[in-house]
Chains A and B, each alone.
Chain A
Amino acid sequence: MSQVIVVTSGKGGVGKTTTTANIGTGLALKGYKVVLLDADIGLRNLDVVMGLENRIVYDLIDVLEGHCRVKQALIKDKRYSGLFLLPAAQTRDKNAVNPEQMQKLCDQLREEFDYIIIDCPAGIEQGFKNAIAGADRAIVVTTPEVSAVRDADRIIGLLEASELRNPTLILNRIRMNMVKRGDMMAMEDVVEILAVDLLGVVPDDENIVISTNRGEPAVTNPDSLAGHAFRNVVERILGNDVPLLDLDISEGFMGKIKKIFGIGN
């Protein structure tokens, strides 16, 4: 039974693409057949984060307009055999696609894959409507900032209006030391405002920047705390009950190690 999951946020820059790449890679690591679908037409990034940008020949628009078959546009990941990417077009915009086409495409992909993960563009316009059209469930990504939480709230409302009930939340880029000082919203505050189930908490981690630039998702890096958080998210998507990472202790522990080697800040 395959599942179509849309990763969305409303606000830009909170980590939708990074989350999509990491969840997808994590599921592929578990042996599932996964396709990542970039719905951010005109501002595609997922191919760069996955390190597959130089392999693109056909894209989403070519598939939807019938210039090629779906199989021709799918790019096989260079590390994991069960992982594929369907890239967005860069020279067009969101209005080149409509929700019916996306729904049809998702249904087509269901036959081949266990998980279809859609990277939604920022905003609530056509691109958002396209991205959620074929989805079974939604993951809302937010950061512990008032503006991001406000947008996440709006998105959750729109998702519920579109029959995508019970979205789950990923709280990204949290810094425990700032939360302790009272300078950042705590996990509990965000969950209280948004009133949805928490799928995971991902700490702010330098490794994410490094891995994003290299095109290697952090989930594969055993030393990355954020990678560990994403591995837990994957477990929860699969229905396993995993306790939340104790970021405080882990960060202290990691910090100590870093200090020993003189690379801490």
Chain B
Amino acid sequence: MINDNSVIFKGSKDGLIILLSPDIDFNNLKTILEKKVEDAKDFFKDAKTSIMFKGRDLTEEEEYQLLQIITDKAQLNVSYIYDEKSSMEPSKSMPADKFNDGRIQIDQTKYYKGTIRSGQCLEFDGSIVVIGDVNPGGEIYAGGNIIILGSLKGIVHAGCKGYDKAFVAALAMNPMQLRICNIITRSPDNQAYNTHSKTFPQIAYLYEGNVYIEPIDYKLLDNL
């Protein structure tokens, strides 16, 4: 017995919302979803959207199964999965999103003017440009690149959702910790605490599992 209201598609400004009935068996739900997706195949074809599941608590495994159905049957490119909870309070550093093969929307950029001080934290799914300094203890988490037009002395994490082509650039590069994708590097010990020596612009990038920090020049930028 297929109840047509157990799975409902709804469009929203953020993407596609799929309302799931909490009352029926999960396997039943899968069949219904499969059928519905099949029906709407031409509509979805090769579209790119983000998806939210609503109305039912899903385990990670269940969510994955449902996504498999959607991507297989409708050739739909799912760029991002969100739920109500995560859209309200983004978690500190999420593991690489396994559904989008590293294709993350990093083309959006957030600009911040001012100093990021100790205890302050800037988070964004795209790239971040800071016009100012990042002081020791200040933190920046970006899904994409991080550019500091100032002195970087805090903690930065570029590509924090698994994007390994992310880079960090700063006018003065003295970070406490610099993370790109899933690699963590820290500043050398025994660094004098009052040096102002390194003041030329530098860029940090990931290459074969190592973070390299080099002065910015055109040859390097060509290879990035």
Q: Mark B191-203, 1 if CB is under 8 A from A, else 0.
A: 0010000000000
Interface membership of A258, Cβ < 8 A: no
Interface membership of B189, Cβ < 8 A: yes
The smallest beta-carbon distance between B140 and chain A, in angstroms, is 11
Query: Are A213 and B176 in contact, CB atoms less than 8 angstroms apart?
Result: no
**Nearest CB to that of B186 among chain A residues?**
A54
**Nearest CB to that of B118 among chain A residues?**
A90
Q: How large is the interface on A (under 10, 10 to 19, 20 to 34, 35 or more residues)?
A: 10 to 19
Query: Are B119 and A78 in contact, CB atoms less than 8 angstroms apart?
Result: no
Q: What separation, in Å, do the CA atoms of A43 and B92 have in the docked complex?
A: 19
- Residues of chain B within 8 A (CB-CB) of A133 are none
Q: What separation, in Å, do the CA atoms of A90 and B177 have in the docked complex?
A: 14
- Residues of chain B within 8 A (CB-CB) of A51 are 189
Query: Are A57 and B184 in contact, CB atoms less than 8 angstroms apart?
Result: yes
- Residues of chain A within 8 A (CB-CB) of B187 are 54
Query: Are A78 and B189 in contact, CB atoms less than 8 angstroms apart?
Result: yes
Q: Mark A12-44, 1 if CB is under 8 A from B, else 0.
A: 000000000000000000000000000000111
Query: Are B189 and A91 in contact, CB atoms less than 8 angstroms apart?
Result: no
- Which secondary structure dominates where chain A touches chain B? loop
Within 8 A of A (CB), among B177-224: 177, 184, 186-187, 189, 193
Query: Are B136 and A53 in contact, CB atoms less than 8 angstroms apart?
Result: yes
The smallest beta-carbon distance between B169 and chain A, in angstroms, is 20
Q: Which of A53, A55, A91, A214 contacts B119 (CB 8 A)?
A: A91
**Known pairs A90-B119, A90-B137, A91-B120; A53 contacts B189 (CB<8 A):** no
Query: Are B177 and A54 in contact, CB atoms less than 8 angstroms apart?
Result: yes
Interface membership of B121, Cβ < 8 A: yes
- Residues of chain A within 8 A (CB-CB) of B119 are 42-43, 90-91
Q: Mark B111-123, 1 if CB is under 8 A from A, else 0.
A: 0000000111100
**Nearest CB to that of A55 among chain B residues?**
B186
Q: What separation, in Å, do the CA atoms of A67 and B187 have in the docked complex?
A: 25
A–B complex contacts, Cβ < 8 Å, 14 sampled: A42-B119, A43-B119, A51-B189, A53-B137, A53-B176, A54-B177, A54-B187, A54-B189, A57-B177, A57-B184, A67-B92, A78-B189, A90-B119, A91-B139
**Contacts A53-B136, A54-B177, A57-B177 supplied; 17 other A-B pairs, CB < 8 Å:** A44-B137, A51-B189, A53-B137, A54-B176, A54-B187, A55-B186, A56-B177, A57-B184, A78-B189, A90-B118, A90-B119, A90-B137, A91-B120, A91-B121, A91-B139, A213-B193, A214-B193
Per CB-CB distance, the 9 closest pairs between chain A and chain B, nearest first, are A54-B186, A91-B121, A54-B176, A90-B119, A54-B187, A90-B137, A213-B193, A91-B119, A54-B177
